[in-house]
A and B are shown apart, each in its own frame.
Chain A
Amino acid sequence: MRFVAVIKQVPDGESRLKIQGGRVDLSGATLILDQMDEYAVEEALRLKEKHGGEAVVVGFGPERTEEAIRTALAMGMDRGVHVVFEGYADPVAVAQALAPVLKEEAPTLVLTGGQQADWDSQALGGTLGEALGVPVVAWTTALELEGDTARAKHDLDEGAEWVRVRLPALFTTQQGLNEPRYPTLPGIMRAKKKEIRKVQAEVRPKVALLAEEIQEKQRLGKILDGKDPVGAAEELVRLLHEEAKVI
């Protein structure tokens, strides 16, 4: 059995973003393994620990993505594949670039985060599922293997459902599925020696990025003292009614 986690490297949500020439410039930002993808890595590790086989991490992105792949290797993944691509690529183009690599790996199960913290895309599960011709379970919160099928729980817009799906299949992961482990020092040492295969991506972007800007909405920043709760509440309601006109 082979469990594959597909990951990205993204800026830490706390880090400051800059704009340079109409594009987000990440040169000063702390870059991390996407926290949504951490759930995918953790689940691949758990499945391997329970059922045996191999856990492979596949990263998509520029050279620096190797750091995020190393993080996954330090968590315990066996080896990595880095599909190298610099720039913006839409989810269909990413799936087209990843499909040949993933087909070669012949995974039992593919896992990837439910949403990317850089382009805020939720589409990779669907596009990759179509590219590989396998079913997708999105926003998975529980997962068990039962022979050549998997039983999983996942969220819908309202409520959730339990499903059974024949393998190979793809699962997008999220909070609740597991608690990702931290890389240990021995894990980090071992990760240095693990193989990362580099593949130059064939990317044919369909969507072009025209401009990016940081748009922090200007807030009024009015602070009321709540020492007199009734007075503060009445003043707040008045402001919302008369000034903001939202109630």
Chain B
Amino acid sequence: MVLVVLDHDGNRLRKGALEALTRARQLAEGLGTKVAGVLLAEDKAPLEEAKKYVETLYTATLGPYTAEKWAAGVLAAAKMGAKAVVAPSSRQSRAFLGRVAYALEAGFLEDTLDSSLEAGEVQATRYAYLNRVTQRVKSPLPVVLTVKPNTTPLAEPLEAEAEVVALKVPEIPTVEVLERVEEEKKGVSLTEANVVVTGGRGMGGPEAFRLAEELAALLGGAVGATRAVVDAGWRPYSEQVGQTGKTVQPALYIGLGVSGAVQHLAGMNKSKYIVAVNKDPEAPIFKHSDYGVVADVHQILPALVQAVKKLKD
């Protein structure tokens, strides 16, 4: 069996889970085996949805997420005979799957762009060196593999509903959650967005981000920020793109007043098209851009919003 971790937001399966499912199906076909899902959820809604996608669904209700509990849940499901465990490469899943990989003595392939079965082993490509290098790696089974967002088509539901199997998960001591600091959810999530509009220090202050938000909304995208902006307190850390922030790979990335430091590039240099607006023609980001505009962001941004509106009409 190939086990897929059906990550969800309490309501729906995440897009990443459906990408992972596609990869799991590919591996299972090569191995001549079935795909089973594991769903750790308190709510009914993700369960109803998950049932449509796999033949066997292992479930447990373990309370709110902690890495240790999720590791135990996934491990209990994997022990039902998984040759491979496939999961989306969210921060949370990468945190607990390390435990699972260690316990299974598996090869851990993180953040893969693709995966295939070659002579009974799993091969995959992934980025390394702050996203500057592509590595091709292979591991014998068992393997734990995470799927980089926006790399894989979403899986379609099956005709029949899954058989649901309740897991017995051993009690394990874990971290005690004292308080959740919820983040305001606005529009599309940064890592899954097709368009990312990022503001850098060149935005001059938090006010200019209102227009960046408007532009992002018009393009169905999300707003990102550089570390300089986050450190200045103009935008929340959850929007930071880069080595210590999020990695994005949208079809279109627009950097407004962003210099293009390597640590920032690490989070966005694999975007399909990169647009940069900077008043300094020597800014490093221009070397990494498809389209650059040498201009003051305060003049270009309102004009850009108008031009996009005109296009949409």
Contact = CB atoms under 8 A, between A and B. Distances in A.
A137 interface: yes
Contacts of A223: 281, 286, 291-294
Interface of A: 11, 13-14, 17, 24, 36, 90-92, 95-96, 114-115, 117-127, 129-131, 135-139, 151, 153, 155-166, 169, 172, 174-176, 206-217, 219-227, 229-230, 232-234, 236-237, 239-241, 244, 246-247
A241 B307 CA distance: 11
B137 A17 contact: no
A116 to B, nearest CB: 9
Nearest to B140: A206
Interface stretch (B45-53, B153-161, B272-280): B272-280
Interface of B: 9, 65-68, 71, 90-92, 94-99, 101-103, 105-111, 123, 126-140, 173-183, 185, 189, 195, 219, 227, 237-238, 243-244, 251-252, 262-263, 266, 269-270, 272-275, 277, 281, 286-296, 299-300, 302-304, 306-308, 310-311
Given A127-B102, A227-B295, A165 B176 contact: yes
Interface of A is mostly: mixed
Given A121-B110, A208-B139, A233-B300, A11 B129 contact: yes
Given A169-B175, A226-B299, 17 more contacts: A24-B129, A36-B243, A90-B107, A91-B108, A92-B108, A123-B98, A126-B95, A129-B99, A138-B95, A155-B91, A155-B237, A161-B178, A162-B178, A223-B294, A229-B299, A229-B302, A234-B307
22 contacts: A14-B262, A90-B108, A92-B107, A120-B130, A126-B101, A127-B102, A129-B98, A130-B71, A135-B173, A157-B91, A158-B238, A159-B180, A159-B181, A162-B178, A176-B237, A221-B292, A223-B281, A223-B286, A233-B300, A240-B273, A240-B275, A241-B311
B113 to A, nearest CB: 11
A214 B190 CA distance: 26
Most buried by B among A118, A123, A159: A123
Contacts of A156: 65, 91-92
A169 B65 CA distance: 18
Contacts of A214: 132-134
